Amino acid sequence: MVTGDASYIKKINRALIIREIIKEGKISRADLSKITALTRATISAQVADLLEEELVVETELEHNPVGRKPIMLSLNAQAGYALGIDLDAGHATFMLSDLTGHPVTTEIIPIQSEAYEDIVQLLVSAIGRYQSRCAGSRYGMVGIVLAIHGLVSNEETIKFVPRFQWQDVDLKQDLERAVGTAVHLENNANLSAFAERAYAHHTTDNLLCVTLYSGIGLGMIMDGKFFRGHEGFAGEIGHMIVVPGGEPCACGNLGCWEKYASETSVLRNILAAEPGDASDMEWISRRIADGDEQVLDALNQFVYYLSIGLNNVINMYNPDVVVIDSELLRMVPDALQRIHHQLHSQISHYREITLSGMGRKSCVMGACALAISRFLNVPVLSLPSGDDLAD
């Protein structure tokens, strides 16, 4: 039983009720009482507040063969909107979602200049447009979360972004000053992990998400919370050494994992001896279908080194679920079975290794989900998934 002062208990109960309403989609007051173990009086008082705040709406259940039709509660999805932004090399992805995490619109804006001031201006201009678009709703834009492909401190300052060569910049403060509202920064891999937990893996509080695109990142949800480390920089697992004395990495080490198992490195090796027009996943897919030995050998090495790193990560963190986010790995025949066969350690314990169903959208979806979580003050969300959320 939760104990504490009345306002604290009310806050906890409110979060619990909102969480179950979102999770179930539609639910009656009686069922809410059963699931949450809260009294009907508590449910009624809390729901009355939520209805007055227009966060919850009532509908009558259409099909009920016995007795009076129950009144169902659901979240008012259009009461406000969350903006997620993925700031990556060459482009920024913007996703606007409703309060259930359902995407309303997605936009990719090319980044023509990598100068800090130019990127800030691009972000400010786009955020302003989305703020205007949301102004007619009850709560407008409820939150803005920006994904950073680099080191973000616990205070949300940027320590280093290798792709832009940013060091020690306060993007959060600069954006907030320009747009007039709170902006939150988070590491991209953490947001991918948050998306996997919020949209897909509702029954675990210990989840790792390994992203394999330009580098290798590790997002960690442990005991239902981000695992950040001392200053917020935990998860730079791509710079774990898997080949001592191996290929030089931009970080200064030799033989880093991302030099052998990130998509960028693998594709660079495959395409090195190919014509200039051989540069996309569709070309790789055709080569796999044709049984190209060079491509298949490179993919075998990819799976081999990926498995080495996953073995290390699993033994370090003992996760329940490991999600791998990689467009290239989805193209490898029997990829997960091959990974399983190479995890031989008797001390490696996990329940599931799976491929992300969201792909590259996971980061920006996680940004929207985190904005919703902060607005509703519900730390652990279980948002509805749908086919339109996948790549």
Q: Which two tokens stand for residue 72?
A: 């169902």
- Res 180: pLDDT: 95
Model confidence pLDDT, tens digit, residues 337-352:
999 988 877 767 788 9
Model confidence pLDDT, tens digit, residues 272-292:
766 555 457 888 888 889 998
**Can you give the residue range of the structural domain that contains 68?**
6-75
- Res 390: pLDDT: 47
Same domain, 172 and 94: yes
Same domain, 342 and 210: yes
Of 217, 224, 234, 185, which Cα lies nearest the Cα of 201? Answer: 224
- Res 252: pLDDT: 86
Same domain, 225 and 186: no
Cβ-contact 257, 354 below 8 angstroms: no
Domain boundary at 75, 104, 129, which?
A: 75
| Domain annotation covers residue 243 | yes
Kindly report the CATH number assigned to the domain that includes residue 290: 3.30.420.40
Same domain, 212 and 131: no
Compute the distance between CA of residue 25 and CA of residue 19 in angstroms, rounded to an integer. 10
Same domain, 263 and 155: no
Residues of the chain with pLDDT under 50: 1, 278, 387-388, 390-391
Domain boundary at 75, 104, 119, which?
A: 75
- Res 359: pLDDT: 86
- Residue holding tokens 């790193």? 309
- Res 116: pLDDT: 94
Same domain, 50 and 172: no
| Domain annotation covers residue 186 | yes
Same domain, 243 and 142: no
State how many domains the chain has.
3
Same domain, 345 and 255: yes
- pTM of the shown model: 0.90
Same domain, 213 and 142: no
Q: Determine the Cα angle at 382 with ends 63 and 97, to 5°.
A: 90
| Domain annotation covers residue 355 | no
- Res 344: pLDDT: 78
| Domain annotation covers residue 1 | no
